[in-house]
A and B are shown apart, each in its own frame.
Chain A
Amino acid sequence: MTERKKCWREIPIGGKITEAGNAVKYNTGSWRTFRPQKNEKKCINCLFCWIYCPDSSIKVEDDKMAGFDYGHCKGCGICASVCPVKCIDMIKEEK
């Protein structure tokens, strides 16, 4: 992430950010020490992990829990903690 920083003529005035939601380009996944991992067989797709995720990092497709957004998941472990069937394990990240 060593982009050239823009000069004063190149940025919108007044500190305004006109590219909505561009924080997705910022990789908070690198903060993680533990990675959530799902046991597909056990998951009941209750989506509690999704509704409690502070980082919007639970993917949902066709009403089903469809995995993690590892680009942004900080590995807090809330999903594992709230899962009623304990289908999410927190695995130590290998460096």
Chain B
Amino acid sequence: MANIKELAKQPEGLSGGHRLCAGCGASIVVRQVLMGTKDPVVVGSATGCLEVATTIYPYTAWKIPFIHNAFENVAATISGVETAYRALKKKGKIKKDIKFVAFGGDGGTYDIGLQSLSGALERGHNFVYVCYDNGAYMNTGIQRSSATPKGASTTTTPAGEASYGKVQLRKDLTSIVAAHHIPYVAQASASHWNDLITKAEKAFKVDGPAFLNVISMCHRGWRFPQQDTIKISKLAVETGFWPLIEIENGMWKFNYKPKERKPVVEFLKPQGRFKHLFKEENRHILDEIQKDIDNNWARLEHFCEAGCKVT
């Protein structure tokens, strides 16, 4: 459990003066993740909003070591950094304990960077990978990704007379990562900061790769008022759109279960990207989305129960 007053005493890795949009979820996620360790941290980032907005030459918002290489290779890049650290530590050239974290958006993680991520996880580097998942290529102007939810209107799956937006289901990256049998995998949301920071602590602590899939709100792409960033992410959790789970050494666990799951429309309704679904002809899509969420919830409950039995 994190104590907010204690956290506020720690130095921060990211400064103000970066150029993410007002009300962006990504920097909230980054700040909270970095609160998960007191050790020195080296940060890697995939190309994306976070990277371009925090390092516009000659300025950097990073008060800690930072490396960006390209879009699809932050996992491979950080595995090089982490290996160099082990090599130099072995030779006595580095004394301190250092942690490594890679940030990638859903584009750089679910899609173009999936191979690089999978390789780094399989090789077992000691690092934390954080996907800040805002469900589309926001940096290039809201194009669909494999993390885009069904029914969302994006600039490459626009809703129109003959389209209700994205047709396909989101890829379940958390399960894909869990299938690498790494020590720690979790889903988190910045709205539940205590849960997120606790998960970041665990992720930094384990020996080997850890992965955090964190929902990251983008009011530009999701079309909601910028001050509602945390409100919307809370709704993602409360409706079961974004379950707060963890998979620790293969054991699946719910970290939070709403007393009563709210209907998913409460998450969808305030967002302009789903506006067209509330037209009469698209109502059935809303039902399908609700059913998808119910199914996923049931699947997770099944995994969690099975996991408990194994212990």
B145 interface residue per 8 A CB criterion: no
Shortest beta-carbon distance from B80 to chain A in Å: 16
Partner of A17, one of B58, B226, B229: B58
Complex: A82 Cα to B190 Cα, angstroms: 12
Interface status of A25 (Cβ within 8 A of chain B): yes
Q: Are A47 and B5 in contact (CB under 8 A)?
A: yes
> CB distance B227 to A55 under 8 Å?
no
Chain B contact-residue range equals: 35 or more
Q: How far is the CB of B70 from chain A (nearest CB, A)?
A: 13
Q: Is the CB of B227 within 8 A of A21?
A: no
For the complex formed, measure the closest distance between the CB of B51 and the CB atoms of chain A, giving whole angstroms.
Answer: 13
Mark A70-95 against chain B: 1 for CB-CB distance below 8 A, else 0. Answer: 01111111101110000000100000
- Chain A at the B interface: SS class: loop
Answer whether residue A23 sits at the interface, using C-beta atoms and an 8 A cutoff: yes
Q: Please encode chain A, from 19 to 55, with 1 for each CB lying within 8 Å of some chain B CB and 0 for all others.
A: 1111111111001100000000000001110111111
B residues 1-54 near A (Cβ < 8 Å) are: 4-5, 7-8, 12, 14-28, 31-32, 54
Q: Are B230 and A63 in contact (CB under 8 A)?
A: no
Nearest CB on B from A46, distance (A): 7
Which residues of chain B have C-beta atoms less than 8 A from A80's C-beta? 227
State whether A75 touches B8 (Cβ < 8 A): no
Q: State which of B27, B28, B32, B228 has its C-beta within 8 Å of the C-beta of A81.
A: B228
Q: Is the CB of B17 within 8 A of A11?
A: no
* B60 x A56 contact (CB < 8 A): no
Interface bits B54-71 vs A (CB < 8 Å: 1, else 0): 110111111110000000
* Nearest-Cβ distance from residue A65 to partner chain B, whole angstroms: 9
Asked if B24 and A20 make an inter-chain contact with CB atoms under 8 angstroms apart, the answer reads: no
CA distance A76 to B7 in the complex (A): 23
Interface string of B176-196 (1 = CB under 8 A from A): 000000000000001001000
What are the 10 closest A-B residue pairs judged by CB atoms, nearest first? A72-B16, A77-B227, A76-B23, A23-B17, A74-B22, A21-B63, A23-B61, A76-B22, A26-B17, A21-B15
Interfacial residues, chain A to chain B (CB-CB below 8 A): 11, 15, 17, 19-28, 31-32, 46-48, 50-57, 60, 63, 69, 71-78, 80-82, 90
